[in-house]
Structure 1
Amino acid sequence: MQPQRLGTRAGMGLACLGCRQGRHYSPIRNPIKMLYQRTFYFHFENLLYANGRKNTFLCYEVNRVEYSLLVPVCQGIFTKEGNLHAELCFLYWFHNQFLEESPGDEYRITWYLSWSPCWDCAEQVAGFLATHRNLRLAILSARLYYFWDPHYQEKLRRLTQEGAWMGAMDYPEFKKCWDKFVYNGGQPFRPWKRLKRNFSFQDSKLQEILSSPGSLLQEEVFRVQFNNSQRAVPIQPGHYCRRKTYLCYQLEQPGAQEPLRGCLKNKKGRHAEICLIDEMRSLGLGKAQITCYLTWSPCRKCAQELATFKKDHPDLVLRVYASRLYFHWSRKYQQGLCFLWLSGIQMDVMDLPQFTDCWTNFVNPQRPFKPWHGLEKNSRSIKRRLRRIKESWNLQDLINDFEKLQLGPLSP
């Protein structure tokens, strides 16, 4: 007699049933190997409002960590089975196939979902991750399920709190799914109309949802975008996020009880630095102090605009810290950095104190910042590069300007 299958509401709680009660999960059929072309195009099209898509397809990749290397283990597809959603089908299957056999192994898992998890699945997946700390899960979704509902939003944030990385599927992810999970007959992936535009909506909405109350920047976004490694760090094997420009700023004015904080990124045709200047000009600043944390140092044009802004506000103290230097080998971009120094803007490279301050003020003040591997070594290397740029432009007298400065509130 087959054991009764657990429904989605039976739940795994904070500890999965297979571990907590010593019971095996209900039997799950073997995953699907490939999708038909029509099924893929219908269910994975990233429409803003999709009608008739009442099922969820989950394409997965499992990698095992062996001696710090990622070894591909398997891939496949799950979909709804009875009352059990695709996400829970995967967890039941994965637990039986891998965790019961080798509970101490480390795994990196990537999901490509046609719909983001519902609130119940998100809660149970979060509980599963909380129990099994040897897993890292990346979730990429074609569409967001009930993204306007605060209850669903809260459950998606719960996933990220337990270490899951979430993102919206863009062209590279759709193409990868087409190549790896579809009977394509050798035909190339044909993107549908408005794929890019719909991705922009899904991506911006997801980032808005995942930003915790009181937080301006998602934890995983900070760790990926502010990472100062020479090469981009993959979220999961084969999946890289393009390193974009993010600008976190803190404005302190005499008499103000709390500093004004914000987080900006490049918009179409307008860089984050220009957006900052527009916001600051609208405030009519007098004596003030602005501290900026940038993922990339300013380009030449933005550096010129910042220099002009500083000259228009002589009582303003403007500090700019960059995680990485943008096209540092180009004399044109080096000249932009010189514009900043000569205008009195204090420009330097982010080190551990600045990363910690940025994390505390813009990401999560409740959780201590944990540096990534090589952070301080990378910072020292970038600082040497910046010093050589100063020397090559005969700006040696400005080298030690920042070393005498410390982060602190503006004096009244």
Structure 2
Amino acid sequence: MAGSSKKMRGQYISRDTFEKNYKPIDGTKEAHLLCEIKWGKYGKPWLHWCQNQRTDIHAEDYFMNNIFKAMKHPVRCSVTWYLSWSPCADCASKIVKFLKKYPYLKLTIYVAQLYYHTEEENRKGLRLLRSKKVIIRVMDIADYNYCWKVFVSNQNGNEDYWPSQFDPWEYPLAGVQIPGRGNHPQHLLE
């Protein structure tokens, strides 16, 4: 996207970009990452968003190598990502290495859609993240409303957001089921 004037990162995301990319079903293939970083116990959250940079730099990569790396604070922190797509297998491996490098960081990931969930490598990647204590869940209505009120620009913050085509029972999560859990969508990634 060299030479493009399109904004690809910042604190707030536009309404159109959010609505287009965070559809729970049939969203665009472009990955967006909304993030909230809380330093220590009482710090005010730091907000940011980014998207894939060209086809070879995923949003997760951009966060790890540009946003977080620039901070260099060895203070306990919690990082919450709201991703339009779950991490691919390659990104899952990179996230594990990132967490090893920053052991004081706790990561929680909410996803609007599962990325090629029928491919075994991507399912393994999600299970790898879970095995490393990353909390990963499919976004529910409360998560969408939170993102709408906190990350989306040009709105008054009082209106609720209900994504089109949202039906939490229709998520295609059976392929990433964690052994010992039921088939209820909320439990498949917990």
TM category, shorter = 0.7 to 0.9
Q: How does 1:243-262 map to 2 (within 5 A)?
A: 243-254=29-40, 257-262=43-48
Question: Is 1:283 matched up with 2:71?
Answer: yes
| Matched letter for residue 371 of structure 1 | W
Number of equivalenced pairs: 181
Percent sequence identity is: 21
Question: Aligned letter for 2:64?
Answer: I
Structure 1 contact 307–345 (Cα < 8 Å) conserved: no
Q: Residue 103 of structure 2 aligns to a residue in which SS?
A: coil
Q: Distance in 1 between matches of 2:165 and 2:123?
A: 25
In the superposition, the TM-score normalised over structure 1's length comes to 0.40
Q: Which letter maps to 1:276?
A: F
Q: For residues 7-406 of structure 1, what are the structure 2 equivalents within 5 Å?
A: 200-201=4-5, 204=6, 216-229=12-25, 231-232=26-27, 242-254=28-40, 257-268=43-54, 269-278=56-65, 279-284=67-72, 285-364=74-153, 366-367=156-157, 368-375=159-166, 377=167, 379-382=168-171, 385-386=172-173, 388-391=175-178, 394=179, 396=181, 399=187, 402=190
Q: Distance in 1 between matches of 2:177 and 2:75?
A: 30
Q: 1:324 to 1:400 in 2, by over 3 A?
A: closer
Structure 2 Cα separation of the partners of residues 372 and 280 of structure 1? 29
Assess, with a 3 A threshold, how the Cα gap between structure 1 residues 381 and 332 changes in structure 2: closer, same or farther.
same
Secondary structure of 2:75's partner?
coil
Gaps in structure 1 of 5+ consecutive residues? 1-195, 233-241, 403-412
Deviation digits for residues 153-211 of structure 1 (CA, Å, limit 9, x no counterpart): xxxxxxxxxxxxxxxxxxxxxxxxxxxxxxxxxxxxxxxxxxx866x33xx06x89xx9
Structure 2 SS opposite 1:281: coil
Alpha-carbon distance, 1:319 to partner = 0.4
**What residue identity is the alignment partner of 2:14?**
Q
Pair 1:291–1:387, CA change in 2 (3 A): farther
Instruction: Tell me by how many angstroms 1:339 deviates.
Output: 1.4
Task: List runs of 5+ in structure 2 lacking aligned partners.
Answer: none
Instruction: Judging by fraction of residues, say which structure has more helix.
Output: 1
State the superposition RMSD in angstroms. Answer: 2.7
- Higher relative contact order structure (alpha carbons within 8 Å, sequence separation ≥ 6): 2
| Residues 52-80 of structure 1 deviation map (CA, whole Å, 9 limit, x = unaligned) | xxxxxxxxxxxxxxxxxxxxxxxxxxxxx
